[in-house]
Amino acid sequence: MTTKDLVEQIRKKKSFLCVGLDTDLEKIPTYLLSEEDPIFTFNKAIIDATHEFTVAYKPNTAFYEASGKKGWKSLSRTINYLNEEYPEIFTIADAKRGDIGNTSAMYAKGFLQELGFDAITVAPYMGKDSVEPFLEIRDKHTILLALTSNEGAFDFQTQKIDGVEMYKKVIEVSKTWKNSERLMYVVGATKAEYLEEIRKIIPESFLLVPGVGAQGGKLADVFKFGKTENIGLLVNSSRGIIYASESSNFAEIAGAKAEVLQREMAQLMDTM
Amino acid sequence: MTTKDLVEQIRKKKSFLCVGLDTDLEKIPTYLLSEEDPIFTFNKAIIDATHEFTVAYKPNTAFYEASGKKGWKSLSRTINYLNEEYPEIFTIADAKRGDIGNTSAMYAKGFLQELGFDAITVAPYMGKDSVEPFLEIRDKHTILLALTSNEGAFDFQTQKIDGVEMYKKVIEVSKTWKNSERLMYVVGATKAEYLEEIRKIIPESFLLVPGVGAQGGKLADVFKFGKTENIGLLVNSSRGIIYASESSNFAEIAGAKAEVLQREMAQLMDTM
C-alpha cells in the first residue's frame, strides 16, 4: 500500500486508529477455546466489529509465536483475512526484527512478501545494513523503533550521543539510508512532549504511536504535537479495545471502544 | 542446561564451536528439494555429521519464518531432534527479539519453554523490562546483542554515551538487571581487539562470537583476547560449514570443516 492510499483512508474514515491484535489464549473469552482456531476466530470477530473505525491492524508476532506452528497458522489466516476482506486497511507485523543484511532480507521476504503485510516494525541497534533490506520492497513500509513506550526506553534510547539523545540520532541517521522515504517510526505516547522535537527532524514521516490506553498517554497531546498536514499518525490501542469485555458480546464492545476513539480522532481532525 | 554442563561439554569435546543453522532453500543441495521437509532433512544430516565437533547449534529464526508455518514446523522438528538425540548440546534460537515486558514474556515462553531452546538472542534497544522476562527462566540463557559483526555496528553500537561506547554501556547496565547471571553476550569476531575491553567489564560471562569464517575474523585472536578460565566462548560458523559443498556428500564435507575448526580449538585449549 502506498502512503497516499493510507492518507486517503484516514481522511475518509476520519480515523488514525490502529488496533493491536495482541491475542493471548489466556485473555480471550474462554468459550472460544473450544474452537478449532480460537486466535483466528477472536481476531476475525474483532476485525469485523472494529474495521469501520480503524485504518490499521497490528498483530504482535510474539503472541502468535508463543503457540508455535499453530500460532503461525493463526497469524497467516489473520493477515489473509485482512487482505481479502478489507484490502484498504494498512497491516503491520509488529515483529521488531533486525539482523545482518542477508538475514534481514529473509525477514523482509517472510513478512512483507510471503505473508503480505504492508509494514513491519524493525529494531535499529544493528544499524544501516540491518534495516535497508526491508526498505528495498516497493509500496511496503519499515517502522523503525525510535522511542518506545516502556520504562526501559530510558536505559539507552534517551541517553545522549554527542549531546543528542539516541532516539533522535537513530532518526537522523536513518534518513541517510537508501529508500528512507519508506520509513515510519515508533514513538511512544507516554512521552508526547518529545513529539515536537521529533517533528523538527522528520516533519512528514508517519509515526506509529503505542501507549494511548493501557500504557497511559493522551490522544489530544499526541495529535497536537505529532500531527502533520497528512495527519502522519497511527495511534495504536491493543488491550483497551480487544480485551474490553470477556463476555460473548466482546466484539461488539470492542467495536464500541474503537468508535469512541475514532470519534475523538474525528473531532481532533475537524479542528485542523 | 546449566553453564556448568556447557563448560563440561566444552572440555570433553575440546571444542567451543557453535554451528549456525541458517538453512536457506536456495542454498541447500537441489536434490533435497523433493523431500517432504527439505530444511529439516538438511539440518538433520548436518547435525549428525558435525555433532561430535560441536557444542552448540544456532538456528537463525529468519530462515525458518521466511517459509511461514512450514518453516516453523522445520524449526520445531530441528530443536526436537537436537533435544532428543543430542541432549548434551547447547541450543540457541538466534531470534534477536525484544519487546515491552508482557510481550517479551510471550517470546520467552515460545522459544525457551514451548520449543525448548537453552538460549535465545535478544536485542537491547528497549532496555531492562524488555530483557528481564527472558532472564526469569531457570537454567536458560539470554544472549544479549552487544557488538555485532556487521558494518552497521558502527552506526550506533560504537557511538559514545558519556564517553563510553554504547555496546559497553549495554553490557554495564545489563549487569544490574535481575538474574543477570543468566546473561551471555554477542560480540562480533570482526572486532577481536574489543574483546580485551569487554573482558574488563564481564570477566566471566560467556560470549557468542559470530563472524569467524564467512564474515571474516580470526579464531586465535578471539581465543587470546576473549577466553576465560572456563573458556567462556562459543564461536559460531554458519555458511563456512553448512554450505561447504552442494554435492550429495555435503554433510560429510560439513563434518570435515567442523573438525578442522574443532582441532584448531583443541590446540588453543591445550596451550592454557
Q: What is the pLDDT of residues A227-254, one digit of tens each?
A: 999 999 999 999 999 999 999 999 999 9
CB contact under 8 A, A145 and B157: no
Q: What does the pLDDT read at residue B216?
A: 52
pLDDT of res. B59: 98
Give, as one character, the DSSP assignment of residue B257. Answer: H
Give the integer Cα–Cα distance in Å for B66 and B129.
28
On whether ipTM exceeds 0.90, the answer is yes
Cell numbers found for residue B88: 548434551
Mean of the per-residue pLDDT values of chain A = 95
What percentage of residues in chain A have a pLDDT greater than 70?
A: 97
Cα distance from B217 to chain A (closest Cα, Å)?
Answer: 16
R_g (Cα) of chain B, nearest Å:
18
A211 pLDDT band, cuts 50/70/90, is confident
A42-74 tens-digit pLDDT: 999 999 999 999 999 999 999 999 998 899 999
Q: What is the pLDDT of residue A213?
A: 64
Catalytic residue status for A128 = no
User: B255: helix, coil or strand?
Assistant: helix
Per-residue pLDDT of B90-149, as tens digits, reads 999 999 999 999 999 999 999 999 999 999 999 999 999 999 999 999 999 999 999 998
Tens of pLDDT, residue by residue over B185-230, are 999 877 677 999 999 999 999 999 997 765 555 899 999 999 999 9
Who among A68, A123, A170 is closest to B115 (CB)?
A68
Chain B hits for A131, Cβ within 8 Å: 152
Query: Contact A82/A89 with Cβ under 8 angstroms?
Result: yes
Q: Which residues pair with A184 in a beta bridge?
A: A143
Q: How far is B267 from chain A (nearest CA, A)?
A: 31
The model's confidence at residue A192, banded by pLDDT at 50, 70 and 90, is: confident
| Of the partner residues A104, A111, A127, the one whose CB lies closest to the CB of residue B154 | A127
Q: Find the helix or strand (DSSP H, E) in which B96 lies.
A: strand B90-97
Give the predicted TM-score (pTM) of the model: 0.97
Q: Work out the mean pLDDT of chain B and round it to a whole number.
A: 95
Indicate yes or no: CB of B62 within 8 angstroms of CB of A154: no
B66, B123, B162: residue with CB nearest A98: B123
From the options 3.40.50.720, 3.55.10.10, 3.40.50.150, 3.20.20.70, give the CATH code of A3-270. Answer: 3.20.20.70
The pLDDT assigned to B189 comes to 74
Instruction: Report the residue of chain A nearest B71, measured CA to CA.
Output: A69
pLDDT for A215 beyond 60: no
B residues 89-108 closer than 8 Å to A (CB)? 94, 96-101, 103-104, 106-107
Residues forming a β-bridge with B165: B160
Q: Catalytic: which of B14, B44, B73, B96? A: B96
Residue B30: per-residue pLDDT: 96
* Cβ of residue A214 closer than 8 Å to a chain B Cβ: no
Domain ranges of chain A: 3-270
Distance between CA atoms of B174 and B59, rounded to whole angstroms? Answer: 25
Interface contact A62-B110, CB threshold 8 A:
yes
